[in-house]
Amino acid sequence: FLSGSPISILPFLLVSLAWMIGGWLLARAAFRLEPRERLTVGVGLGLAAFLFLSNVLGRWLRADAAFTMAGALILAAGLLALRRRPGRIREDLVGWPVLAGVLTATIVFTLIARGLAILDDRKNLSLISMMAAGDIPPHFYMNPVALFRYHYGFQLLGASAMRLGGMFPWSAFDLTKGFAAALSLGSAYLLGWRLVHRSAGGWVMAACLLFGGGARWLL
């Protein structure tokens, strides 16, 4: 942490909780999902909406304001959706084991990433630092006259962890990259379960995605 204190991550965690809850409420109102699917799918929807809104709002607002407002807007939209289509929220808690698995895998993947700095860190850390400083959409880090015309969604998530959570860029990227990888596996697990109607299908789908995504996990 830039400040030396882990407490500085609290604003980032609060904003993340806002878009997670908002995404969950939006997902249960917008899609036909099984109760066990709603929590994890909702977190994925909230993440996608957070990155989209942050990218748009960052053109006019400071980075910290853009990230905070994006989280608040998603939460507000979720609460509005709940009011329009109320339902028994408690039944969605049946999906907590998958979400707990995602959080556990996030810790594991983050620890792995700390020892494997092989993912274009020159590009990633530069983008995270620039966007955390307010350069959204980012310019090309090797030619600041031109915009960076390549995908930067997960780096934008890392920038939010750096700006709101007071993290160093490499720590922010390791954490958010680990979360994104874990969330993709949780979603793959639910997809496999839905296709074959058995949890074994979920494990196979998650394993195929894990090892199909790069041999670094074999280490």
Say whether pLDDT at 143 is over 70. yes
Say whether pLDDT at 115 is over 70. no
Say whether pLDDT at 204 is over 80. yes
Question: Does residue 86 have a cis bond before it (omega within 30 degrees)?
Answer: no
In this predicted structure, what is the pLDDT of residue 114? Answer: 79
* Mean pLDDT on 12-30: 95
Burial code of 63-85, b = ≥16 C-beta within 10 A, e = fewer?
Answer: beebbbbbbebbbebbeebbeee
What are the phi and psi torsion angles at 146 (to 5°)?
Answer: -100, 150
Say whether pLDDT at 218 is over 70. no
Task: Label residue 5 by pLDDT band (50, 70, 90).
Answer: confident
In this predicted structure, what is the pLDDT of residue 135? Answer: 95
In this predicted structure, what is the pLDDT of residue 131? Answer: 96
Q: Which two tokens stand for residue 134?
A: 């307010």
Average pLDDT, the chain: 90
In this predicted structure, what is the pLDDT of residue 148? Answer: 92
* Mean pLDDT on 162-174: 93
In this predicted structure, what is the pLDDT of residue 214? Answer: 67
